[in-house]
Structure 1
Amino acid sequence: MASNRPAPEAPFIPASDESESFGYGSYRADEGPWEEWNPTEDSVDRVRGRHRVAKQRGGFARSSTVLGVGVMAAVGAGGMASAHTGKSPVSISLPDSVTHLFEGGGSSSAPKATGTGLSGVGVSADSTKSGGAGEALRTRIMAQAEQQQSKADSKATAAALAATEKQTADAAAKAEKDAAAQAAAAKDKAVADAKQAAEAARLAELAKQYTLPVVSYTITGTFGQPGAMWSSGYHTGLDFAAPTGTLIKAVHGGTITEAGWAGAYGYRTILTLDDGTELWFCHQSSINVSVGQKVSTGDVIGRVGATGNVTGPHLHLEVHPNGQATAIDPAPWLRDKGLNP
């Protein structure tokens, strides 16, 4: 930074007779008067640099400036301390001499500056009473935080209630569905039980109308068994093995349509039921009925024997619905009539 060179001193010429002095009771030689000096461009060196510093005359202006800056700094520091710490305002009193300088006069009648809390500058009385601007700001922030927390709690409570209501509704719907399923299952079971009971009653009634052809027997051949013994290649009836001479009874009431020798079937009796079904009783040792005779359930129609194509005494029973040539399995037909061969 450029500096100014000092100007040359003016020649000292003491005055011969000056009666007044500045600040003293008698004349002093170093107080002047001096010869007036007017510097010119030639007598003063040029100042180099971009800035010039004006010579400040007197010490009072500089002192006032420094004091003003200090007071402003104190005011700012006091306000910041009050805002940040929330402590009580600090009162700063100015001396009379400083107050005199601010007021611009030296009159002793000027009012003295009173001690004023610098931290209270720009703060209302209400905010000061409640702890200052910092306390008011903190209170407002806390109130907003509490309000936001209350809203969040309300939302969480509403969400929890909604979830609980949904769970309750789902549980109620599931319970209702399960109850409906159980009711439907119970209804189906009741219907099935009713059907079973009705069928049992029907079979019981039929059992009174139907009977097995032999009382004491052993099943030795079933329908559909393959073998070279049968001309069709498989067994076409149901064999009841019993001793020769065992009584053969009519399974149901009907009419005798055939009674006599039938080749491989030996002695055979055909009983035709009212619905047209033909029952063939084969391999008899004897026949006790004749063609056209009406018989009832349980009537004796012949005796067990071993006539025809056999390996031992037994009754060969065949069932031909509607008198057709092809036979069906006698076992399910007998069961349908309430009989269990």
Structure 2
Amino acid sequence: MKSPHDTLMYQEAHSAADVIAQQLAVNAGLLAGLGARLRARPPRCIVTCARGSSDHAAAYAKYVFETRVGIVTASASPSVSSVYEAPLQLEDALFLAVSQSGKSPDLLRSAEAARAGGAQVLALVNVEDSPLARVADTVIPLRAGPERSVAATKSYLATLAAVLQLTACWSGDPALHAALARLPDDLRQGWDADWSALGAGLREVHNLFVVGRGYGFGAALEAALKFKETCGLHAEAFSAAEVRHGPMALVGAGFPVLVFGQDDGTLENTLQLADEFRARGARVWVAAPGASGPDALPLPAGVPAITTPLLAVQRFYRAASALSLARGYDPDLPPHLRKVTETL
């Protein structure tokens, strides 16, 4: 039996700080040029296209783009192009295709349709010579290196960092550049936070909710997927603003809920929601900067809200790897899954 530190998932998630530090340095010139071009001719909208963890990164990108460059961002369904072969009207749009492997046929077909429809195609890929990269007008390499665990970790975090660096170069925001400069060290500091309460509380459960809002919603989506993928645990992700609209009826005594929060305008409402769950008898863990208490999952205090989800997800990956082993699974080899899913 592997120990928690022996899994590829643990090792690759642990490497994310170094991966991102290198990525930010090597991609700086590329993204400075791209940011200048986007400032000179802003797109009328941004369309993202991805699946799985990459789509969760796109959910994070939506909040980053809309709050920092003020351009409406929406997710495209790959099936519209790959199955229904519908033409796309995307004149003056920026089409952001996100894929670790760059090999999925439906994403490739969607990128081709976007170009034919008048969009500028931007690919975030880890494999620089992939088919998707060859279709794109511009490629932002993730530079995560080979990822051997089936569960994507460092490539997901590298995608979020690439989105942030693109946005910083596009907006010219000094505060965002400063947040990026400190990000690798913040990740190293967050890695050792004590999240042991989460593993102890989830070892025997079968279902849970994962909740986040704003920048943290993508983290909730990603955590719910990894619970299913690596731990055999059914998890559903919700926005803290949406979970009251029906799903909250399921929450009662002993029901487990994992809440992600960051120190911005969403925090007060998110913590209030956690208290409402506790009042119903639910078991609630809150992952937020400076969190304290028996079911707190602390993160370093003073971290910029926009980068907090990267710290939370990286530390979550470490916890999920250990929980997977405790539940009798191998996080590196989830049943019935492969590293590359080539959806048609």
TM-score normalised over the length of structure 2:
0.16
Give me the TM-score of the superposition, normalised by structure 1: 0.16
Q: From the two aligned structures, give the one with the greater helix fraction.
A: 2
